[in-house]
Amino acid sequence: MAANIRENRYRVEGMDCASCASKIDTAVRRMPGVEDVSVSVAAGTMSVKHADDGDLAANIVSWVGKLGYRLHPIAAHQKPAVVAIHTCSGDHDHDHPHDHDHDHDHGHGDKHEKHAHTNDHEHQHSHTAAGAASSQQPSSHAHDHGPTNGPWWRSAKGRLTIACGLALAAAYGLGHLVPATEPWIFTLAMLVGLLPIARRAFAAATSGTPFSIEMLMTIAAVGAVFIGATEEAAMVVLLFLVGELLEGVAAGKARASIQSLTALVPKSAYLERSGRVDEVPADSLAVGAVILVRPGDRVPADGIILSGESAVDEAPVTGESTPVHKAVDDALVAGTVNGDGALRVHVTAAASDNTIARIVRLVEEAQESKAPTERFIDRFSRYYTPAVVVVAALVAILPPLLGSGVWSEWVYKGLAILLIGCPCALVISTPAAIAASLSAGARRGLLLKGGAVLENVGKITAAAFDKTGTLTEGKPRVTDIVGFARAENEVLGLAAALEQGSSHPLARAILQRADELKLQVPGITTVKAIGGKGLEGVVGAATLFLGSPHAADDRVPMSPDQKARIAALNDEGKTVSVLISGNEIIGAIAMRDEPRPDAAVGVKALTDAGIHVVMLTGDNRRTAEAIGRQFGMEVRAELLPQDKQRIVGELKKSGFNVAKIGDGINDAPALAAADVGIAMGGGTDVALETADAAVLHGRVSDVAAMVRLSRSTMRNIVQNITIALGLKAVFLVTTIAGITGLWPAILADTGATVLVTMNALRLLRPVQTA
């Protein structure tokens, strides 16, 4: 962004439908100095890029106020490009003596480029002038739409609807008592609701939106008075206000779905300072503070555990149903629930920048990004409404001129067609569904960067998976312990003795397995690395060696049976370390980066959906094919990042819509080359910088869930468009045929809008992730 251009973000109070958003967009975009405008009815926000001019910011707030909306500046944040807490997961690149002579790279071939982190593109928002401007909103333009939070009857829109309803009820009562006064009484009752609508219509017309629903409503109501249909005019205004009120309630439900995530963070925290623990507001915690999280408490801030261990329930944030064991150096996310252990935590992010705040901001910004279908509907509606106005005028004028009817009858029909012609339901049909879908996905740990991405995910016909950390867990586990001359547990215990103190992934796998079996690991006298071969040490009176099969065979020749057993393990894609005591081979330990528990189910769900699945990995072919055989998927192995990018390009040339699923870091070129790049990680360790979408808790089945979510969203959009256009078509015919009048006409508009919005809200139901 140029130095003299600033971007302000606002919450727009009372913007409940796409017609509202369109009016605001048009009005602000026409102002001199404004570079770009992005309005999201779903998030209730507006972003404006404009010249660095304090007066212009104030003018924007004032002008939008005249349309009947209030702008509230959103506090300045640096827009995070990465939704991540980088955990101390231990993928350290320590040299290990096992590495050099093994035929395998221990399942970490895909990680070689992991250090090439893409820098975050920081996007600074400036709000100084906007903050000053917020106090300059014109009080004479009280907001007719009202806030969408709190009880509806307390909103300005709710109060106006109640007043109009009471006025209409009074008019009916007085009309029965004094029938001669009915026309005037109903006209006055109508004006209670119509005057604020007419004021908004005039403001919209002068700012570039002549065919707003308010303008059509005003013309229809005034026209009805002129032809003597005052009772119907008053009722139509009330029905219009009721419809708008229902739109506001429905829009509020969609916004509340994602905003409710912020309610997960507790209001207070226990801060350690000066040797004591004080209860303080959670939003006051600074980066670097040390807090105490008691058993059963919600975690008040993102952080790293300094001491203690516990099972943490991450379901509220990521949808992960199983509590995750957390210990020292593990990351915690604000809003998760601590289990049965007390934790001391080092705060790593302020309240405004924690994971939940970032997710909410990302989803809201995604909702501002229009999908191709939405852009098409917007273009269509720009021609549709003027066309309906022309049809209404022709219906009102031509038949009387041609002598086939009386003026009052055909003018009445023309006015009804005007009301039918409002595009609200049509325009909201797509963004309502997309907003609900993005919110529902985010609550299940499925993040998408906008409507276009959401549409594209459902169109994929090929899914290219990274192996390490995507299809597999990203760290080796002990799979087999072979006792040639000693018991299996003794072999594991002696190997663990040699590996004590090592941080290499293979060493940690051996130590973890020994810990799981609660083995007594013997003390070690000396240990040294034999370059490129293995480890040698003394345990008690025995000299031990742990290393690759090749290095072990050089020391003590292996028998044919031993070689056959090790070869069989190698053929399964496993890394084998052989243990020697003195001059005797006493055992072997096999390790492999194992598939994620749900990988087979996830891959099958994609193939059942008609999607071609392929593995693209930098790992060696034997290891990759051993994993691929379990899933029945095509395997392309020993690839460099540029090879993955090339293969994605080849798939696209073959006619596939390709999704690339990886860790979002080491295969950035392939993610960028794909139609959809999906980052996958464990917990919240997900970089979104290089991806279009992400699954927060790293389940392979979540990719299929994302596809299902996209496809159900597109079906919902088709249903919405059918409801919107179908109702209008039916009422257009019945109005011209004289079957229906003004009341059903307004129901064709606001009724359809409410139906469409409620249908879209069905997408807020839980997303199936398995």
Judged by DSSP in three states, 52 sits in coil
Q: Is 144 a catalytic residue?
A: no
Residue 257 has phi, psi (to 5 degrees) of -60, -45
Residue 264 carries which DSSP code? G
Contact 753, 427 (CB under 8 A): no
Q: Give CA torsion, residues 439, 441, 447, 449, to 10 deg.
A: -60
Calpha distance 204→210 (Å, rounded): 6
* Alpha carbon distance 42, 254 (integer Å): 7
Q: What letter does residue 618 receive in the DSSP assignment?
A: S
Residue 589 phi, psi dihedral angles, 5° rounding: -125, 130
Amino acid found at 509: A
- Contact criterion met (CB below 8 Å) for 728 and 704: no
Q: For strand 310-312 and strand 324-326, is the pairing parallel, antiparallel, or unpaired? A: antiparallel
Catalytic residue among 105, 466, 663, 685: 466
The string of DSSP letters for 435-456 reads HHHHHHHHHTTEEESSHHHHHH
Query: Does residue 745 contact residue 395 with C-beta atoms inside 8 Å?
Result: no
**Contact criterion met (CB below 8 Å) for 320 and 445:** yes
For residue 468, which of 717, 661, 695, 282 has the smallest C-alpha distance?
661
Residues 269, 177: Cα–Cα separation, whole Å: 65
Please give the structure tokens belonging to residue 714. Answer: 């597109």
Long-range contacts of 36-41 (CB under 8 A, 24+ apart): 38/368, 38/369, 39/12, 39/15, 39/368, 40/364, 40/367, 40/368, 40/431, 40/435, 41/15, 41/16, 41/17, 41/251, 41/428, 41/431, 41/432, 41/435
| Angle at which helices 230-259 and 213-226 cross, to 10° | 160
Q: Which among 317, 349, 342 is positioned nearest to 328, based on CA atoms?
A: 342
- Residues involved in catalysis: 466
